[in-house]
Amino acid sequence: MTIERSEDDLLVAELDATQSATWREMRELVASGAVRDCAVPWTTTGGSYPIYDGPVGQARNVLVMVGAVTPLYDWMNNGTPALSAHGTLSPPDAIRAATAVIRGERFTDGVIAKAAEDGTMHAVLAALLGWYDERRPRP
């Protein structure tokens, strides 16, 4: 007998809970609110593109490090999940959003900037941190 795992389960299984230092970094980003509704600067000379240094660049990096950007989600055909009325996401939808946003930046400058500005990036980090906190061992 084969037990089928749901897409949600498969996505969440991609997360790497062993990256404790990276999860701590994520916790600091969420606690500080540094990527909640924040404006991302753009270059003003030559071709215009967003500058992802500071907290937004850090958020992008931690999402990749913990496995929240995955080839398991067909982001090109499904896009970024919408935030709930309360501005939140479930952990599987946070993975979908992280994948769509980070991968989307490769094709369109400013996708990450928009996610930082509209609260999606903060919601992704908060949802994943909630998942991590439910699973990590307590001292």
- 29 found inside a domain: yes
Say yes or no to pLDDT of 46 above 80: no
Q: Is residue 110 part of a domain?
A: yes
Rg, the chain, Cα only: 15
134 is written with which tokens?
């439910």
| pLDDT at position 137 over 70 | no
* Domain extent at residue 127: 7-135
Residue 2 within a domain = no
Q: What is the mean pLDDT of residues 69-88?
A: 95
Tell whether 99 is covered by a domain: yes
35 occurs within a structural domain? yes
Q: Between the CA of residue 68 and those of 1, 6, 52, 93, what are the distances in Å?
A: 30, 17, 18, 10
Cα 99 from Cα 79, distance rounded (Å):
9
1 belongs to a structural domain: no
Q: Which residues contact 44 (CB under 8 A, 6 or more apart)?
A: none
How confident is the prediction for the chain on average, in pLDDT? 92
Angle between helices 120-135 and 20-32 (to 10 degrees): 130
Q: What's the structural domain count of the chain?
A: 1
CA distances from 80 to 19, 36, 127, 131 (A): 25, 17, 15, 19
* 26 inside domain: yes
pTM for the whole thing? 0.92
Q: Answer whether residue 61 shows pLDDT above 90.
A: yes
Whether residue 19 lies inside any domain: the answer is yes
* pLDDT for the residue numbered 36: 87
Percent of the chain with pLDDT strictly greater than 90: 77
